[in-house]
Amino acid sequence: MTPVPPSASHLTSRHKTNWSEMWRSVLRLSGRWRFVLGIAGALFVWTAAFSPWASFAFGYPGKMTLSGFPGGARVYLLPLLLLVSLLFFTLPVGATAGVRAALGLLFIAGYNFIAISWEGDGVDAVAWGAWIALLGSLLLLWAFASFLWEEADGRSLSGQTAGHTAVKLPDPIWQMLLVFGGVPALLICFVYALDVEESSRFVSLICCLGAGSAALSSLGFFNWTSELLARQRTFAVILLLIAALVFPFTQDGNGYWLRVLISVGVFASAAIGLNIVVGLTGLLDLGYIAFFGIGAYVSALLSDADFTTVHVRVPFLLVLLIGATVAGLVGIFVGAPTLRLRGDYLAIVTLGFGEIFRITMNNWNGLTRGPNGIAGISDLEIPSLFGSTPLNFGDAHEVFGVSLPNFANYYFLCIFLFIGMAILFSRLGNSRIGRAWMAIREDEIAASSMGVNPVRFKLLSFALGASMAGAAGTVSAHVTQQVSPDSFTFMESILLLAAVVLGGMGTIPGALLGAGVFYLLPEKLRAFQDVRMLMFGAALIIMMRYRPEGLIPNRRRKAEFREEKSRFSAGFLKGTGELDLMQQNPVQEGGT
């Protein structure tokens, strides 16, 4: 995972300054005008939130033809507007945050404008409310941007927190109270967001949340929260766990979102395994889903499914172990010859291996029933803790007077799976082994000169990652109740990898968030199903440009990306020009 060569980023930044200077000279505002335009913009947006956005009723969600109340997507303007109004008092420090919040307003207005004219067959469908929402958010953007230009021109960027400066936290008791209040709030927001059905409202909500967090992030809010969570880690983790366990009780016996969250949980667990391989050890594995598939097939074959070729039923915990072991052994088999090589060979080999696995499963009719797959995998049965009858995962249960659908069983199982993976990851990562992995990632030659056997530790990482995927696969087979080769395509490997990179390499919350984005969002954005991959691609490109370290980065990885420039000027890779044959770092050219 080599970072972008610096030469490219230098070039683009030079271009950018030229462009923005041109814009600035045209759009520069004097002090008074900025406030006038800003306040006018805020008033416009405020009015727009209560004005009709659609000129006639045609089924656009949220009663957009009515005036006097902020229905539909209009309501999401209000939190951002509140934020923007507060930011006026923090100027010029809050200029960046203001720009981001104003962009959020612009996105909400713009998206709904386009959607209304699209669904209403033309711009005639758009009423004046949407027009002034656009106008108002543009004015706000202009006003805040002009503050930003002024700062860039001369004054120091006082409010920008570059790197992490010292963070002030309240007393421990207040810290705990904040966490104690924050976690349920998070759960309520989450349940609320799942309840937002129409995609236009959901997109607006995402714009609102995204722009809001981007704005708060520029004010150092997330530095502060991460510091807070680091201090109160155990407490926060326990509360989050409780929140996760409480979630099924909010669903009124409906299993739909549980079903979705199960797949998020399964893939997040697999993503943690991939995080060991990619995030800690720095090996690029493009066929990771194959190991997941091995676990799934092992589980399918050993649970006496309706359409199976092997008629045995092995207890699930044993199946979990067998699946993990088989996947790990295959990992060793694939890795042993390849991990001796450096660089991109592993990526190519794993890419090939993933395809070999899929095609083998597709053609091995005697064992895997080929493209038909193995269907009718029975529900899990594990010995019950409370009675003599085993607990069947296919049954719905009544707990505390709330009926839980049968998927809640698998949901709880997934939580345990995820916790297990997370413990595995964090304990191995914070040990001699984890340090050896990171050392290999950072500089394999230096690591081996310090006594780390690179092949052995790369193999260990690869096999462990593979067996974690295998374990996740065994659970997944029971959840989906069938396995077939077409669930293990190359695209699935890429999605998992993208989830790890998007979430933030080397972190557990990052893996969870990444899996959430790639397996939960598509369910909410069904209207965009055809362009799903296009959107993911665009999102990744934007991420790599503006936040290469991922959404929830490892603290030090963040520093790595942020300080890349200074690292080059500090002469970190200062070569003296003398023959050094083991030089493998491709960044030298760009650095000088």
Partner 1 sequence: MKSVDSDFSPSSLSGLAGNFPPRVLLRASGLTVRFGGLLALDAVDFEVREGEIVGLIGPNGAGKTTFFNCLTGLVMPDEGEVRYKGQLLVLRPYKVAEAGLARTFQNIRLFPNMTPLENVLVGRHCHTKEGVWSALWRGKRFREAEASARMAAAEFLDFVGLVPDEDLSAHSLSYGDQRRLEIARALACEPGVLLLDEPTAGMNPRETQAMLELVQRIRDRGVAVVVIEHDMRFIFSLCDRIVVLDSGCKLSEGTSVEVRKDPRVIEAYLGISPE
Report the interface residues with partner 1, using CB under 8 A.
164, 423-424, 427-428, 431-436, 438-439, 442-443, 445-454, 460, 464, 556-557, 559-560, 563, 566-567, 570-576, 578-583
Distance CA 222, CA 154 (A): 27
Hey, which bits of 363-423 come out as E strands? 374-375, 381-382, 391-392, 397-399, 402-404
Q: Which is nearer to partner 1, 90 or 566 (CB)?
A: 566
* Shortest Cβ 566–partner 1 spacing (Å): 8
Write the CB contacts of 522 (distance below 8 Å, at least 6 apart in sequence).
529, 532
- Cα separations (Å) of 145 from 44, 92, 114, 217? 18, 10, 24, 17
Whose CA is closest to 553, among 542, 561, 545?
561
HSE-up of residue 465 (Cα within 13 Å, Cβ side) = 36
Q: How many whole angstroms separate alpha carbon 294 and alpha carbon 311?
A: 18
Owner of token pair 């004010």: 219
For residues 83 and 72, give the distance between their C-alpha atoms in angstroms, rounded to a whole number.
Answer: 20
Give the contacts of 314 (CB within 8 A, at least 6 positions apart).
Answer: 302, 303, 322
Q: How far is the CB of 397 from partner 1 (least distance, A)?
A: 32
Spatial distance between the Cα atoms of 299 and 474, rounded to a whole number of angstroms: 5
Residues in the chain: 592
Q: Which is nearer to partner 1, 356 or 423 (CB)?
A: 423
Q: Which is nearer to partner 1, 397 or 427 (CB)?
A: 427
Concatenating the DSSP letter of every residue in 452-500 gives --HHHHHHHHHHHHHHHHHHHHHHHHHHHSEE-GGGS-HHHHHHHHHHH
Question: Is the CB of 150 or the CB of 227 nearer to partner 1?
Answer: 227
Distance CA 203, CA 206 (A): 5
Residue 258 near residue 251, CB atoms below 8 Å: yes
Q: How far is the CB of 466 from partner 1 (least distance, A)?
A: 14
Least distance to partner 1, CB of residue 321, Å: 15
Distance, CA of 136 to CA of 50 (rounded, Å): 13
Distance of closest approach, residue 97 Cβ to partner 1, in angstroms: 25
Residue 312 host element (H or E): none
Instruction: State in angstroms the smallest separation of the CB of 447 from partner 1.
Output: 7
CB of 279 to partner 1, least distance (A): 12
How far from chain centre, in Å, is Cα 177? Answer: 27
> Strand locations in 407-454, DSSP E?
none
Q: How far is the CB of 455 from partner 1 (least distance, A)?
A: 9
- The span from the CA of 17 to the CA of 312, in Å, is 67
Q: Nearest distance from residue 538's CB to partner 1, in Å?
A: 29
CB of 567 to partner 1, least distance (A): 5
Nearest residue (CB) to partner 1, 39 versus 573: 573
**Rounded Cα–Cα distance for residues 22 and 451 (Å):** 56
Are 296 and 483 a contacting pair, CB within 8 Å? yes
Tokens, residue 393: 């995962």
Q: How far apart, in Å, are the Cα atoms of 205 and each of 105, 148, 202?
A: 11, 26, 5
Nearer to partner 1, 13 or 449 (CB): 449
Looking at the DSSP bridge assignments, the partners of residue 392 are 381
Q: Considering the complex, state which of residue 138 and residue 452 has its C-beta at the smaller distance from partner 1.
A: 452
Closest CA to 392 of 374, 377, 406: 406
